[in-house]
Amino acid sequence: MNDLSLQPHPDFAGRPGPLLVIVADGVGVAPEEDYNAVHRAHTPTLDALAEGPLYTELAAHGLAVGLPTDDDMGNSEVGHNALGAGRIFAQGAKLVNAALADESIFETDVWQAAIARVTGDGTKTLHFLGLHSDGNVHSHTDHLYQLLRRAAAEGVTRARVHILLDGRDTPARSALGYIEATEAVLAEINGGDINGEKPDYRIASGGGRMTITMDRYEADWEMVEKGYHCHTHGAGRPFTSAAEAVETMYAESDSGDQYLDEFVIVESGEPVGAMADGDSVILFNFRGDRAIEISRAYEETGFTAFDRGDHPDVFYAGMLEYDGDTKVPKNYLVPPPAIDRTMGEFLCFEKVHSFAVSETQKFGHVTYFWNGNRSGYIDEDLETYVEIPSDNVEFNKTPSMKLREITAETVRLLKSGRFRFGRINFPNGDMVGHTGDLEATIEAMEVVEECTARLMAVIKQLDGVLIYTADHGNADIMYTEKDGVRSPKTSHTLSPVPFAIYDPGHNGEYTMSPPTDVGLSHVAATIFNLLGYQAPDDYNESLIDFG
């Protein structure tokens, strides 16, 4: 028997129609309070699913999705990995933590090459670029600090830090606290002695993560262009310190950290951290989706997405390999999780026709991440992927996003009769939730309700099955309150997520029977069962029971 073959389920052959999975991104289950946009929205269809017999709730954070501890928020990357792989794999932060703990990261050829390039010559610089917070979704400042201290210990006398402000996986205006902590580490290093020389470690540039550098899925190359020129050539509004930059921009608008403009630190009118031939650059983000484009900008030969100007000859490395198929970046410090035998591979082996649909912001989640960090099709003859282009706007301005377009395309594919299985992502709960705008997120959830109801009607017409679930929480807790003062919460939550089966043909053939350790990785086996297959032996067990 081939390793990717599936055996028929002995008790259930599946429904005649297709199986559709809706991933309502960022829709968690939290107490029914004023801060809960999921609860506040008028959603009779979703409420009925939650009250039905084929409903449970799944862990979507921490150990359940391969993160280091249960204090770690889930995210779309690890959530879709777990949904598509059916097992738990150690994920970015956990891998990096382990590599730093045993110091294997510093024994790699990549680290040693980056260090060798900038030691012994006080004119060369080691640059660190990344999301500047402890949100632990894309990066962690603890990782940055360990890299900085090790660089100093290995003789690097000159380093620059290029900071991307968070305010998305952290409180909306929390940048100054992180800057203060980083400046303290830099001062500690600068107060020492490196081979008889005084170290020169500084913050050099920065800007909000949703304004520069951290675009994904090629939705807005202008973001990347601004970031590249800011970090590389020192192009941006000048300030004497990062704290001055943030304080000034706070005074000028109500924008959170993630939307602040690019800035550079200058001395005597010149940027302190422009990159030059012979420098090394390390991107310390561990998550892939928002790291790929800036990595391409630094290392791709024949790059055409924008004009890089006088592109310096730097040694560039990522914390991890962000795309295993396209090999971006070429150099990386920690090997990524090797996710094999995904749901998609099994279904393609069994010649099951499937589709995946979302808008640009989440398209890679139902393709790349769902397929175990693999770009492109597994089998183009069997699969159809449809990307609906996202609008380049602040998403609280258009809370419906492209949900109706995603739904219309899904209806077309379902009614074509070609597909046995489909998966789609509704981005609104996450993308609008990240803005911290409660009313806009309530409106977004009501569009999720509308589109889910429409798809349920089509599934009923086709005698199929629909699964409604999510990848992590966000819209369920929109603000926190301390001493009577409310603050917008723009980050993900530790909430469980809903899992509901809508099966119009259900006649008691199976019941919801979740295991005690229930989490997102149990969904894949459930999907196999509902398609009429037994799950692979090493997959986490199904949420339903046919006994």
The whole-number pLDDT of residue 323 equals 76
Counting Cα atoms < 13 Å in the Cβ hemisphere of 106 gives 15
The arithmetic mean of pLDDT across residues 11-27, rounded, is: 98
Burial track 400-413 (b if 16+ CB lie within 10 A, e otherwise) = bbbbebbbebbeeb
* Helix, strand, or coil (residue 89): coil
Cα distance between residue 19 and residue 420, in whole Å: 6
Cα distance between residue 490 and residue 464, in whole Å: 36
Contact 219, 289 (CB under 8 A): no
The whole-number pLDDT of residue 446 equals 98
The arithmetic mean of pLDDT across residues 32-50, rounded, is: 97
Cα distance between residue 284 and residue 537, in whole Å: 37
The whole-number pLDDT of residue 289 equals 84
Contact 54, 503 (CB under 8 A): yes
Q: Where are the beta strands (DSSP E) in 335-407?
A: 354-359, 383-388
Contact 74, 60 (CB under 8 A): yes
Cα distance between residue 282 and residue 47, in whole Å: 47
The arithmetic mean of pLDDT across residues 172-186, rounded, is: 98
Higher pLDDT, 62 or 524: 524
Question: For domain 19-91+338-545, is the CATH number 3.40.720.10?
Answer: yes
255 is catalytic: no
The whole-number pLDDT of residue 216 equals 86
Domain 93-334 falls in which CATH fold?
Answer: 3.40.1450
For residue 412, give the amino acid letter. R
List, for residues 185-197, the tens digit of each pLDDT value.
999 999 999 989 9
Q: Which of 5, 76, 487, 521 is catalytic?
A: 76
Q: Residue 429: which of 25, 43, 21, 32 has the closest Cα?
A: 25
Instruction: Name the DSSP class of 105.
Output: G
**Domain boundaries along the sequence of the chain:** 19-91+338-545, 93-334
The whole-number pLDDT of residue 322 equals 84
The whole-number pLDDT of residue 288 equals 85
Q: Is the pLDDT of residue 1 over 50?
A: no
Q: Tell me whether domains 19-91+338-545 and 93-334 share a fold.
A: no
List, for residues 102-150, the tens digit of each pLDDT value.
999 999 999 999 999 999 777 899 999 999 999 998 999 999 999 999 9
Query: Hunting for tokens 């620059």 — which residue is that?
Result: 160
List, for residues 70-112, the tens digit of each pLDDT value.
888 888 989 999 999 999 999 888 899 999 999 999 999 999 9
Higher pLDDT, 99 or 547: 99
* Residue 324 banded pLDDT, cuts 50, 70, 90: low
* Averaged pLDDT of the chain: 95
The whole-number pLDDT of residue 2 equals 56
Residue 476 neighbours by CB under 8 Å, 6+ apart: 27, 28, 29, 30, 36, 37, 38, 39, 493, 495
List, for residues 211-267, the tens digit of each pLDDT value.
999 998 788 999 999 999 999 999 999 999 999 999 999 999 999 999 999 999 999
SS (H, E, C) 291-336: CHHHHHHHHCCCCCCCCCCCCCCCEEEEEECCECCCCECCCEEECC
* Residue 491 banded pLDDT, cuts 50, 70, 90: confident
Counting Cα atoms < 13 Å in the Cβ hemisphere of 307 gives 2
List, for residues 411-431, the tens digit of each pLDDT value.
999 999 999 999 999 999 999
The arithmetic mean of pLDDT across residues 357-361, rounded, is: 96
